[in-house]
Amino acid sequence: MSTLEIRNLHVTVETENGTKEILRGVDLTVKSGETHAIMGPNGSGKSTLAYAIAGHPKYTVTEGTITLDGEDVLAMSVDERARAGLFLAMQYPVEVPGVTVSNFLRTAKTAVDGEAPKLRTWVKDVKGAMADLRMDDSFAERNVNEGFSGGEKKRHEILQLELLKPRIAVLDETDSGLDVDALRIVSEGVNRAKEGTDLGVLLITHYTRILRYIKPDYVHVFVDGKVVEEGGPELADRLESEGYDRFVTAKA
């Protein structure tokens, strides 16, 4: 049982026009086995929240706390956060030329577990997870994200999610750029991880379509750097029919 707690989180980013505050007091609690959807219009700060949790150096936390089971996440380096059990499936995964997927996965698994995986079971696990995500075997010998299609990049993110077995995963617009088939395959991967490891999920999305495959327990509406409304799955349905207008106008 793990708990990710975000309290009064304020985050700034440096822009050409000086320092800009993106997150303005975010409160959120995600526990093992729970799925939280964060929905909001473009530019509301959803991705910033994801990156701030992962520790991207571009974002500065000016106020507030993030803890995982009481441990201060903000005091951890990026890799320490991952080893503590946090995972970020990125919207735009980065190409790493010359590093094969197979080498990358083994290195990451070794780092997260603190020891190299047993070769025989590991090869089987990787092959099995790839097959589940309809990824060809040859994928393992390609360079990380290099020349991957949008769908391949997202499958590769979920492949890592399934193999690294984090406690809490943040999925940043994992549905963007996916056709219906790919969306279903990727969602199945997330659901397998939820069932298998009691994963807690923070699902960041603009549209509701991924919520048809990954059922949220809670829905948070994110506008202008903070949560403005919270509810159950029914809130997502309402957003689907009404859009974000009422929140955006209310703000104005």
Partner 1 sequence: MSLLAQKNPAAGAHEDSAAAFVPDQSRAERKTSYAVDDFAVPGGREEDWRFTPVDRLSGLFQPGATEVDKLTLTVDGPEGVTTERVDPTAAGVLVPADRAAAVAWAGESKATRIAIPAEAELAEPVHITVEARDKARLNGHLVIEAGHHSKATVVLTHRGSAECGAVVEVKAGDGADLTFVTVQEWDDDTLHVAQNDVLVGRDARVRHIVVTLGGELVRISTNARYAGPGGSFEGLGVYFADAGQHQEHRLFVDHEAPHCHSNVEYKGALQGETAHTVWVGDVLIRAAAEGTDTYELNRNLVLTEGARADSVPNLEIETGEIVGAGHASATGRFDDEQLFYLQARGIPEDVARRLVVRGFFAAIVARIGVPEVSEHLMAAIDAELEGSR
Task: Note the residues at the interface with partner 1 (CB under 8 A).
Answer: 54-57, 77-79, 81-83, 87-88, 90, 93-99, 103-104, 107-108, 111-112, 143-144, 160, 164
d(CA 54, CA 18): 23
Q: Which is nearer to partner 1, 104 or 213 (CB)?
A: 104
Q: Which is nearer to partner 1, 96 or 123 (CB)?
A: 96
Q: Which is nearer to partner 1, 99 or 248 (CB)?
A: 99
DSSP 118: P
What tokens does 187 get? 């969602």
Q: Which is nearer to partner 1, 78 or 250 (CB)?
A: 78
Q: State the minimum distance, in angstroms, from the CB of residue 213 to partner 1.
A: 24
Q: What angle do CA 31, 69, 90 make, to 5 degrees?
A: 60
Q: Which is nearer to partner 1, 38 or 88 (CB)?
A: 88
Q: State the minimum distance, in angstroms, from the CB of residue 189 to partner 1.
A: 16
Instruction: Give Cα separations from 105 to 109, 143, 146 (angstroms).
Output: 6, 11, 15
Q: Which is nearer to partner 1, 113 or 137 (CB)?
A: 113
Q: State the minimum distance, in angstroms, from the CB of residue 91 to partner 1.
A: 12
Q: State the minimum distance, in angstroms, from the CB of residue 57 to partner 1.
A: 7
Q: State the minimum distance, in angstroms, from the CB of residue 9 to partner 1.
A: 18
CB atoms within 10 A of CB 116: 12
Q: State the minimum distance, in angstroms, from the CB of residue 250 to partner 1.
A: 35
